[in-house]
Amino acid sequence: MPDQTSRTRTPIHIAVGSLMWPPEQSSGGKPNAAWASDLGLDDLVRGLSSEQRYSPFIRETLLALTADPNVIAWRQAVFNDFMSNPKLAERARQLLPRLADLRMGNALFGKRQRSVLLETADRLSELDMFLNVIQELHQALAETTVQSDALRALAQQLLAIINSETFKDLKQKLPDLQRPLQHFASLTVGINLDAQLRPRSAILLSINEQNFVEARGMLARLLGVRSNDNEETGIAPLHQTPDDPSMRILSPLFQDLEMLIAETVQPVARALTRFVGVSSTPLSGLERELAFYVAAVRMVKELQAHGIPFCQPEIATAAERVTKIDGLVNLNLALRDPARQLVSNEAAFDDEGRIAVLTGPNSGGKTTYVQAVGIAQVMFQAGMMIPANSARISPVDGIYTHFPALETQQQGRLAEEAARLRTVCVKATNQSLVLLNESFSSTTANEAVYLAQDLLCGLRFIGVRAIFATHLVELVDRLAEMETNVTGASRLFSLVAHVELSEDASGEIHATPTFQIRRGVPQGRSYAQEIARRYGISLDQILQARRSQ
């Protein structure tokens, strides 16, 4: 009599929490991707994507720019656990292919017109993988002292699943259910003939664990000598499956045999109905999250091995509107050439100054610095470590950028710039980060200074954190005037991409970029003053020469 209790057994309710989001929290709306190209986000995505299939999720995670400090802290704690426990990260990496198989199997199971045999085989394979992944992941966590709430909760959830009656029953019954399909190697079919030796009927005699092969010699054929212990030798070949899979459905013999095999697995299929409530879908959802952390840990450790520092930023409140980073390097440069000696810089935006006017020579590191600040903000809000010695950062509610773009056919370059900058001013808040690189370079210097001055006043009024990288050194002279013209919560200050002055044998002065970004006045004047001094035409030298006459 059937075991009615087992048929009504309570299904396994898998409630596996997220490693990316605390309970009762989830991702917001569609992220704003307008800044991704300007900051070179694709370089970071490629650096994190050891497998192409995870690139969309990684990119989406970075673009989301999560501003909730609780979410950032949640992810930082998980990241710390994986960084501190290399064996845990490695075991998670090893589980990814099977989690991917579970995800793909769940997406297709029951949605294709297939035989009972194939559906049963797939379901058995899924359940076997489900058991193994649950147990291996729990063992990996149990053997590690984790500190994050996310991984602790996951360990408890996996243990609850393992201790459930349905899981225990499945673990006990699955080997017996798998055995018939595991040992299907061949069938013995008896064919009855009529008086004219024509096939009259056929019956299935046995299911065998060995394959049948054609004997190599005549004597071996007649005697039925085996080629090896795993094969039975026949007398002559009768039928072979076509190499072209599309033609196999046209083979009547194999169609009939498939029906016979399907009938033999019907008891297994019926037995599996007791586990219909077991679904690995929530478990397979961990795949992409684990892939993100595993990839981030791998990238950080590889770059650290080349001497690039990484730190986990302290989370400041959004209301503080601060960015304090010591020893920041541009991650994109590090990813392109890890062995390259990179220049580190400070990034400081606080009550002493939140809007920087960054000046300096071409190819002096201005764009590299602007991108470094932006990418660090993105990584911080994704819960990752950033390439720096130390940092304390407030989350931003959005990043707005404007880097040089090619002129469009529909409108002139200045019109395109104005349209983008207007969007920035309309959407940005006092908790936004604005990064502008050589804006207004399409117009004359006089017009550019006027336009930039109004834009900077507007950003001061809004209260953003911002960097305005420009060749317009005249703007630095007007910082005090701009602060007087408009009241705002963001002070303006000057940053300079420094150069090193040197004199060759002929007495000619050269300026070599150091790629160091510091507070101060533009070096253009110092450079000009040094040239004037060396040639004896500085104002002091002229006056002194006149007095000595």
* Short-list 340, 331, 434, 322, CA closest to 388: 331
Q: Domain ends where: 296, 324, 352?
A: 296
Task: Say if 7 falls within a structural domain.
Answer: no
Say what the pTM is.
Answer: 0.80
Task: Say if 176 falls within a structural domain.
Answer: yes
| Residue 485, Ramachandran bin (φ over 0: left; ψ between -120 and 50: alpha; else beta) | alpha
Q: What is the CATH number of the domain that holds 535?
A: 3.40.50.300
| 447 and 472 co-located in one domain | yes
Q: What is the DSSP string of 411-469?
A: S-HHHHHHHHHHHHHHH--TT-EEEEESTTTTS-HHHHHHHHHHHHHHHHHHT-EEEEE
Terminal Cα-to-Cα distance of the chain (whole angstroms): 126
- The arithmetic mean of pLDDT across residues 67-78, rounded, is 97
Q: What is the pLDDT of residue 17?
A: 85
| 367 and 498 co-located in one domain | yes
Task: Say if 144 falls within a structural domain.
Answer: yes
Task: Say if 262 falls within a structural domain.
Answer: no
- The arithmetic mean of pLDDT across residues 210-218, rounded, is 62
Half-sphere exposure of 207 (CA within 13 A, CB side): 14
| Average pLDDT of the chain to the nearest whole number | 82
| 203 and 327 co-located in one domain | no
Task: Say if 11 falls within a structural domain.
Answer: no
CB 472 within 8 A of CB 503: no
Confidence of residue 406 (pLDDT cuts 50, 70, 90): very low
Q: What is the DSSP string of 18-63?
A: PSSS-TT----SPPP-TTTTTTTHHHHHHHH-SSGGGHHHHHHHHH
> What is the SS3 assignment for 222?
helix
Identify the domain containing residue 476 by its residue range: 309-547
| 205 and 235 co-located in one domain | yes
Q: What is the pLDDT of residue 4?
A: 44
| 401 and 522 co-located in one domain | yes
For the stretch 182-211, pLDDT in tens is 666 677 778 888 887 777 777 767 767 677
Strand 509-519 relative to strand 492-503: parallel, antiparallel, unpaired? antiparallel
Residues 6+ apart with CB under 8 A from 382: 61, 62, 64, 66, 75
| 56 and 145 co-located in one domain | yes
| 415 and 493 co-located in one domain | yes
For the stretch 233-262, pLDDT in tens is 555 555 555 555 555 544 565 566 566 555
| 225 and 287 co-located in one domain | no
User: Alpha carbon of 228 to those of 186, 212, 225, 233: distances in Å?
Assistant: 15, 10, 9, 9
| 202 and 155 co-located in one domain | no
Domain count, the chain: 3
For the stretch 421-435, pLDDT in tens is 999 999 999 999 999
| 156 and 195 co-located in one domain | no
CB 250 within 8 A of CB 226: no
- With a cut of 60, say whether residue 483 has pLDDT above it: yes
Cβ atoms within 10 Å of 547's Cβ, excluding its own:
7
Range with top average pLDDT, 109-113, 166-170, 532-536: 166-170
For the stretch 432-463, pLDDT in tens is 999 999 888 878 888 889 999 999 999 999 99
Q: What is the pLDDT of residue 205?
A: 73
- With a cut of 80, say whether residue 377 has pLDDT above it: yes
| 291 and 334 co-located in one domain | no
Q: Domain ends where: 265, 296, 327?
A: 296
Task: Say if 224 falls within a structural domain.
Answer: yes
* Short-list 213, 206, 208, CA closest to 185: 208
- The arithmetic mean of pLDDT across residues 536-543, rounded, is 79
Task: Say if 10 falls within a structural domain.
Answer: no
Task: Say if 533 falls within a structural domain.
Answer: yes
CB 150 within 8 A of CB 79: no
| 178 and 230 co-located in one domain | no
